[in-house]
A and B are shown apart, each in its own frame.
Chain A
Amino acid sequence: GESVGLHLPTLSVQEGDNSIINCAYSNSASDYFIWYKQESGKGPQFIIDIRSNMDKRQGQRVTVLLNKTVKHLSLQIAATQPGDSAVYFCAEKESNGQNFVFGPGTRLSVLP
């Protein structure tokens, strides 16, 4: 069945460095993708999204890259800050579908 997975379950970065979190997806029919950030005890928080007609989208300090050829998604966080420490999920969805399919998540730890 369709699935979304992450290459790295944990990632530790120094404060101020850039972070890259990767995600693989298997449903070629998915055409909408979201990165969510989840802090301890809270619900997932929307960070950035991208549709399949785009390869790159930038937000404030974050960039999402989509490679449809290899079904790969990445989240880049510039100048990582302590407040960025959380679990990050990528989620995929078909345009005519109801639900997002989430991967297991990557824990990002920012070292002082």
Chain B
Amino acid sequence: ETGVTQSPTHLIKTRGQQVTLRCSSQSGHNTVSWYQQALGQGPQFIFQYYREEENGRGNFPPRFSGLQFPNYSSELNVNALELDDSALYLCASSLPSPSTDTQYFGPGTRLTVL
């Protein structure tokens, strides 16, 4: 186990709704990255948070947003859900680059959009 926890484990929403996913990082890790993993594919980088600010973003629209809190936990918010948002959402924690940048993943939240 990595010590990274995510909630909820599963979630079902309908198109147009909004969703918030949560992540608690491994003890001592101040950097949190979020990835989207569609079925049968590798994870795709959404964004990273460091010191409560966005620290890099992948090719995802603005309706994907996030927060990081002083205790380093993080939220991923997705507005105006689309069917293609159905995926496993993974959170990974790490120390900041470049010294120790190994990313350790949580179990993920399975989001289904109907």
Contact = CB atoms under 8 A, between A and B. Distances in A.
Interface of A: 4, 32, 34, 36, 41-46, 49, 89, 91, 93, 95-105
Contacts of A46: 2, 102, 104-105
Contacts of B41: 104-105
Interface in B11-52: 33, 35, 40-45, 48
Nearest to A93: B101
A103 B33 contact: no
Nearest to B1: A45
A43 B105 contact: yes
A95 B98 contact: yes
B65 interface: no
A95 B97 contact: yes
Interface of B: 2, 4, 6, 33, 35, 40-45, 48, 55-56, 58, 90, 97-98, 101-108
Contacts, number: 62
Given A43-B90, A99-B33, A32 B101 contact: yes
B107 A43 contact: yes
B103 A100 contact: yes
A96 B97 contact: yes
A103 B42 contact: yes
Given A34-B103, A93-B101, 8 more contacts: A43-B2, A43-B6, A44-B43, A46-B105, A95-B101, A98-B48, A101-B45, A104-B41
7 closest pairs, A vs B, by CB? A98-B56, A102-B42, A99-B45, A43-B105, A95-B98, A98-B48, A44-B105
B90 A44 contact: yes
Nearest to B33: A99
